[in-house]
Amino acid sequence: MPNLERLYHTYAPHGFVIVGIDQGEAASVVAAYIKKVGVTYPILLDNDQQYGPAFQAVGLPTSVFVKRDGTVSAAFDGELTYEKMRANAQAALGAK
Burial of 56 (0-12, 13-18, 19+ CB in 10 A): exposed
The pLDDT tens digits for 41-70 are 999 899 888 877 777 777 778 888 989 898
- Report pLDDT for 96: 57
pLDDT score for 54:
78
Mean pLDDT of 68-86: 92
Query: Please, are residues 19 and 44 in contact by the beta-carbon 8 Å criterion?
Result: yes
pTM of the model: 0.81
What mean pLDDT do residues 21-26 have? 89
Average pLDDT of the chain is: 89
Phi, psi of 65 (to 5 degrees): -105, 125
- Write down all domains in the chain, each with its CATH number in brackets: 2-90 (3.40.30.10)
Question: Comparing C-alpha atoms, which of 39, 41, 76, 42 is closest to residue 61?
Answer: 76
pLDDT at 6: 95
